[in-house]
């Protein structure tokens, strides 16, 4: 990639993990002298027969996790990464496993680190399914994520993102032959999130409703409803033998859902307490951050995201959190 790409990727720091941006920059800067093929941008992890998680590598080259489910008569993909080159590797991996058509890609939410490979999957034959708000947000709210003045390159990328073909604001069941896949709207992360459950494999693809040992990006979040969603997931009867695929971090268990619930709960409790003490803005962040770090400072990207999270949490508790507004078709 060229210099303009490097500038664009620096802005991506607003959206995806700084480690991912650093890795991408390193890859770009060394590409002129390196000819050896790079390692896979993600680790393909089998969960059950025909059920796979694609977990972003430690360098963050894919931008997020993804996954896919092979049924009797086709394949359903969950999320498409930030880097379309990683999406092409995913398709090649699917092709090594099955010749069945790739029929669907489900976007768990609109953030570019989960949908920027959609065009590659659509070209491979997939219908794009998303929450109805994603159709209204994918080319607009994604610009907001890149700061006040997105570069022309980022603006061009975002405004060219495909719009979903099928939008839902209620549960949807997809049948891949005998294999049932349940797609459900959930609240908390953006206001337009879907989770994807494969009941016969006791697997739930959570998108960014779940972060495993990685500090979350809550720029669009509503922690109150997010905590309710996590509690519902944990109260499901088979939660203890369910595999949860998070949007970021490794394949997870109910214990990891519980840990993430505790992370958000601690965030809310600390900010609430310091607001009660009369603190706000920078003084509140300075007061809460050391204690927050004592509890969760070992989570990935904590140093980058935690101060932002404290600020967003204060906005939410003060009733002034900016969140994307639901759209009417």
Which residues sit at the interface with Zn ion, rule CB under 5 A?
Answer: 64, 113, 208, 247
Which of 303, 299, 300 minimizes the C-alpha distance to 285?
303
State in angstroms the smallest separation of the CB of 313 from Zn ion: 19
Question: Helices in the chain by DSSP H: which ranges?
Answer: 3-12, 18-30, 84-97, 112-115, 118-123, 132-137, 141-145, 152-159, 223-235, 254-276, 281-296, 302-317
Half-sphere exposure of 4 (CA within 13 A, CB side): 8
Nearer to Zn ion, 64 or 261 (CB): 64
State in angstroms the smallest separation of the CB of 102 from Zn ion: 22
State in angstroms the smallest separation of the CB of 230 from Zn ion: 16
**Residue 99 main-chain phi, psi, to 5 deg:** -90, 0
Tokens of 246: 């998070």
Burial 134-160 (b: 16+ CB within 10 A, else e): bbbbbbebbbbbbeeebbeebbebbee
State in angstroms the smallest separation of the CB of 40 from Zn ion: 19
State in angstroms the smallest separation of the CB of 288 from Zn ion: 24
Nearer to Zn ion, 183 or 206 (CB): 206
Are 218 and 260 contacting, i.e. CB atoms less than 8 angstroms apart?
no
Nearer to Zn ion, 113 or 118 (CB): 113
Q: Residue with structure tokens 């998303």? A: 130
Nearer to Zn ion, 50 or 60 (CB): 60
State in angstroms the smallest separation of the CB of 75 from Zn ion: 22
Nearer to Zn ion, 64 or 176 (CB): 64
């Amino acid at each position: 990639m060229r210099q303009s790409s490097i500038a664009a990727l620096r802005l991506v720091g607003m959206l995806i993990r700084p480690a991912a941006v650093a890795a991408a920059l390193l890859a770009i800067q060394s590409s002129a002298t390196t000819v050896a093929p790079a390692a896979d941008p993600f680790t393909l992890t089998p969960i059950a027969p025909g059920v796979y998680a694609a977990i972003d590598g430690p360098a963050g080259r894919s931008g997020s996790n993804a996954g896919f489910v092979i049924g009797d008569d086709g394949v359903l993909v969950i999320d498409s990464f930030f880097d379309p080159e990683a999406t092409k590797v995913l398709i090649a991996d699917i092709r090594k496993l099955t010749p069945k058509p790739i029929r669907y890609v489900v976007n768990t939410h609109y953030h570019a680190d989960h949908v920027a490979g959609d065009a590659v999957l659509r070209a491979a034959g997939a219908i794009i399914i998303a929450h109805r708000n994603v159709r209204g947000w994918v080319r607009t709210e994604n610009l907001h994520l890149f700061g006040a003045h997105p570069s022309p390159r980022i603006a061009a990328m975002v405004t060219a993102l495909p719009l979903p073909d099928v939008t839902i604001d209620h549960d949807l069941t997809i049948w891949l032959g005998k294999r049932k896949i349940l797609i459900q709207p959930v609240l908390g992360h953006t206001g337009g999130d879907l989770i994807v459950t494969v009941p016969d494999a006791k697997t739930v693809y959570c998108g960014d409703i779940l972060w495993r040992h990685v500090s979350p990006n809550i720029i669009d979040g509503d922690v109150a409803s997010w905590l309710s969603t996590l509690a519902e997931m944990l109260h499901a009867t088979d939660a203890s033998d369910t595999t949860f695929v998070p949007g970021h971090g490794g394949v997870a268990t109910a214990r990891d859902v519980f840990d993430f619930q505790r992370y958000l709960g601690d965030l809310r409790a600390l900010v609430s307490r310091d607001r009660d003490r009369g603190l706000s803005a920078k003084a509140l962040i300075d007061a809460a951050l050391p204690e927050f770090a004592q509890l969760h400072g070992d989570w990935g990207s904590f140093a980058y995201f935690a101060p932002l999270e404290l600020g967003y949490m204060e906005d939410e508790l003060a009733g002034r959190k900016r969140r994307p507004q639901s759209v009417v078709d």
